Structure 1
Amino acid sequence: MIRTETIESGRTSLIDFTDDVINGSVVSNKKEHTHVQYIDIQQELNDSSEELADILSIFGRSGKNIKTKSKDIDDGDYCSSILEDEVDEKMEVLIKYVSNLKRDKENIISYARRFFPNDIDLILVLREMLLSKRILIWQRKKIEEAIIELERFSDCNKVRSGINIGKVARKFEKGTHSLSAMELRESYLQFLEFDLPVSVIYQYWIDNYGVENRYRLLAFTMNALIVDIKSNEPGIHCAEFGPLATNILNVRILQTLDEKLISDITKLIFYEQIRDEVEIISEGALIGLYMSGLLSADFDKNLKIFAKNYLS
């Protein structure tokens, strides 16, 4: 968590949305003379909450899929949704391999998996390869057969969702805290399978991706859900969308309370006195106690430890 100085009070605030951008500004590094455009997480949270609520309203009135579709992958632009690194270089190796392929060889998939172990990326790569003019007709047929085989043994809905939200994952990986597009995509696919209370989902994100990434994960998941349901081939069914959207909006409520808690505590006159032997209370400690109360996970015990560390 990067702390920002509150000019009015002279105290340090734990709330920091520069883990991407505050008010859409550009973060600059004067030493290296570089400019990095991060996402305005707060704006993304607000906008996606409103859009999800609107879509839920449409579903409630019509009971059908939404009519307004988002723009899917552009024709011939599969690469932008592939999340594996060094896509062009690896694809070049594959194209050379396939262009030299003998008719009796059928191990395209096993060879391609060396470079693209994830089925979602692999299917996108093979689709992109079909557009290459260096691939002969019979070789193209082999690639098409490989795609059919992959799709036959894959979770089609999961693959569709993964393809739909690739660009969103790329967008949200840009932040001051480490969180890759692959991790984001995987977190969304996990969310689709969760049958858990929203507090458990929020705690899962904190445990697995870090307390500093919880807002970004929420904003990403809401955006991904919107893009997925509005795509021409959604990975989720209409009947699934309502519960999923309701769940994520309830997680948003937890996040709003979380944000208010941090904000209110940092405004306390004696805030800087809430410290252990080393430093002022951390955001992680506050959120840990907050989540412990929500989950009823040894709350009394954790409260005593908290009081001993920071209030004694």
Structure 2
Amino acid sequence: MGAVPASAPGGTAPLSIVARVHAMPPEHNAGAEHMLVSMLRPLVERGHDVTVWLSRYGKVSKVYEYQGIRVMPLEARLDFPTAVRKADVLISHLECVPSTSSLARGYGKPVVVVCHNTHRPTFRDMAAGGTALAVYNSQWMRREAELFFAEYPKAVRPAGELIVRPPVFASEYATRPGKAITLVNCNPEKGGKVLDALARRMPEQQFLAVKGAYGEQILPDLPNVEVLDHVRGEDMREQVYARTKVLLMPSSYESWGRAGVEALASGIPVVAHPTPGLCESLGEAGVFVDRNDVPGYEAVLRKLLTPAEYRLASKRAKARSAELDPTAELAAWCNAVEALT
């Protein structure tokens, strides 16, 4: 990665950092997990000991390493409470926040909660008490958190707050765009029905349907639609973006939209439903159409696929990718974690 110094500033002693989450790549490849990986990597590069303990059973039974991070499967039957007792800092997200926060309080450890969405359980769990640092993935989420605290004045605010937009290292995703119109994760909420409708309206155009990590998948059985099985994060550049000309994101909800930012690295235009998260992440590079307006999507795509329009949209995509360089935010993140001890 090379974005963060390999040694902590000020001679900070190496910390024992323990993360508790339900799943991890390469077995589970969703945006939340890849955001966490991108945040843990610079901590490893600074010399800290980082381990991720899984809370669900999966297919892997032995301890493994993923991008420099040691992962402890539940099947390994290792002693998680002892790891907590010896840890300097705990990190958690999603369903593991209540149990991890409870252990943190019991052992007197600072806990970092990474918030990936604006759903009430996310804020409720973070505000149950004892959160040393809350990490929000967007300005929009930070504002939603303020509304939550205004609505529930008895909720306990975290001791510290930080915004870390899901880090995407452009060099790891940049490639030459392909020819297909692509949807990543074809469940109804992400826009599976929109892809199906567009493929039927544009039979001359190639489409790529990539199976997602979760949800019922709507996979059109059409001659102009190629279906890809679930793709690991490290394979997205070659298997997906190198074959993609335009990325679709007609999602009913996105707190940020990591796949869109990954596509921007290659100058791939993104046509999306205007959720607050996607409007923030894509900025002026995004092309926004209501997900219920399939004719509108078709009209935008036909215009976007003309050479002149595509060149302009691709230029805007690359410019937005450069604006989202994660170097400064990751340095601030590492400093914030180190300051907890």
TM-score under structure 1 normalisation? 0.26
TM-score under structure 2 normalisation? 0.24
Greater RCO between the two (CA within 8 Å, min separation 6)? 1
The answer to which structure has the higher helix fraction is 1
The answer to which structure has the higher strand fraction is 2
